[in-house]
Amino acid sequence: MTESVEAVVIGAGVVGLAVARALSLAGREVLILESAATFGSEISSRNSEVIHAGIYYPTGSLKARLCLAGRERLYAYCASRGIAHKRLGKLIVASAPDQVPALQKIKALAEANGVGDLEWLGANAVQALEPDLQANAALLSPSTGIVDSHGLMLSYLGEAESMSAVIAYRSPVESGAIANDGFLLQIGGGAPMRLHCRHLVNAAGLNAQHVARGLRGLDPALVPPLHLAKGNYFVLAGRAPFARLIYPVPEHGGLGVHLTLDLAGRARFGPDVEWVSALDYRVEAERAQSFYGAIRRYWPGLEDGKLAPGYAGIRPKLSGPKDPAADFLIQGPASHGIPGLVNLFGIESPGLTSSLALADMVVRQLAP
């Protein structure tokens, strides 16, 4: 027998859970299918937990718009639901005179994106704020902060469930087909079954392309290539002498080896950018050498032996090492012509920050 449900969300990461919450709030009956034994065990638990201001993305891109819209909503949401977060602020640092023009470009881009609160600091002003920092100049972003991503996901899930959404763990979507009035899904795991739904949101993160290719009736040419860019983190032994997040000027594929603080005040450095061909979350101790070099450009006082391998996350990129950075791809009926289907591809950073705004966009694409 084939069970039937109004809407299925594939994947219980921060994006899938935000979508499930938004669909539930819009009155839909929602089933979340998650292949793992719990929620948020992939990209959503392997990131920097930074609430980004929306500074670096190309003006008008989804990343720029959704980050800006998502950020303030996220702060308000965390405040109203008691989710741990801190608006710590961040410094983007030019640690050599030849990096100052890059800072000026970043400020102009931020303003074009609607981020009008960046403050230009000269070397003395930086010293006054963060005495251990080596900086010729810096930009202070007061809207950048950190959030407890696990608490956030728990809240999205709790709200969705209170609205009658249901989550099924250990329930991988193996394949599917476009059917009359919706979709037929084959679910694997311990209790395999077939399921019919009218709306389908593919929020499978690193597996979104694989899931989409398994959907009979969706033109495979519409499924974008996936490039994996691993980001390694190293943790600092002892306390960092900084009160804010510290970023160098960005590098291709990532934001440069930056310092973020967690809610307990512990410091970690990363993520770097390592292009890989398979999922492998090990952090090689030898990579520490390049971290010391990168960090000492802005923190010359970092002592030997202070960095230990931390964890790694993998970015689901739509652009390769030599390509210009790609935008999020929110692929709804207007692009593939299939009513009721939204595929989410390339939801790398700032996906966590954008999650509430992204979810609303998905709901709009599914509106009749």
Name the helix (H) or strand (E) containing 349: none
Question: Minimum distance from CB of 193 to ligand FAD (Å)?
Answer: 13
User: Running DSSP on this structure, what letter comes out for residue 205?
Assistant: G
Q: Does 55 sit near ligand FAD (CB under 6 A)?
A: no
Q: Which amino acid is at 60?
A: G
Binders of ligand FAD among residues 2 to 31 (CB under 6 A) are 10-16
| DSSP characters over 65-89 | HHHHHHHHHHHHHHHHHT--EE---
Nearer to ligand FAD, 220 or 368 (CB): 220
Report which residue's Cβ sits closest to ligand FAD.
Answer: 351
Nearer to ligand FAD, 137 or 229 (CB): 229
Query: Whole-angstrom Cα distance, residue 148 to residue 86?
Result: 9
Nearest 5°: the CA angle 134, 137, 142 is 100
Radius of gyration of the chain (CA): 21
Q: Does 145 sit near ligand FAD (CB under 6 A)?
A: no
Q: Which amino acid is at 101?
A: P
Q: Which amino acid is at 250?
A: P
Q: Does 256 sit near ligand FAD (CB under 6 A)?
A: no
Q: Indicate which single residue of 65, 315, 317, 336 sits in contact with ligand FAD (rule: CB under 6 A).
A: 315
Question: Minimum distance from CB of 59 to ligand FAD (Å)?
Answer: 18
Q: Does 205 sit near ligand FAD (CB under 6 A)?
A: yes
Question: Minimum distance from CB of 226 to ligand FAD (Å)?
Answer: 12
Q: Does residue 221 contact residue 331 with C-beta atoms inside 8 Å?
A: no
Q: Does 50 sit near ligand FAD (CB under 6 A)?
A: yes
Q: Does 43 sit near ligand FAD (CB under 6 A)?
A: yes
Nearer to ligand FAD, 282 or 301 (CB): 282
Query: Whole-angstrom Cα distance, residue 237 to residue 234?
Result: 10
Nearest 5°: the CA angle 291, 294, 299 is 105
Question: Minimum distance from CB of 259 to ligand FAD (Å)?
Answer: 12
Entry field: residues in the chain: 368
Judged by CB under 6 A, which stretch of 90-98, 154-162, 277-285, 310-318 contacts ligand FAD? 310-318
Q: Does residue 366 contact residue 199 with C-beta atoms inside 8 Å?
A: yes
Question: Minimum distance from CB of 265 to ligand FAD (Å)?
Answer: 17
Size of the residue set binding ligand FAD (CB under 6 A): 42
- Would you tell me which residues interact with ligand FAD (CB under 6 A)? 10-16, 33-36, 40-44, 46-50, 52, 172-173, 203-207, 211, 231, 271, 313-315, 347-353
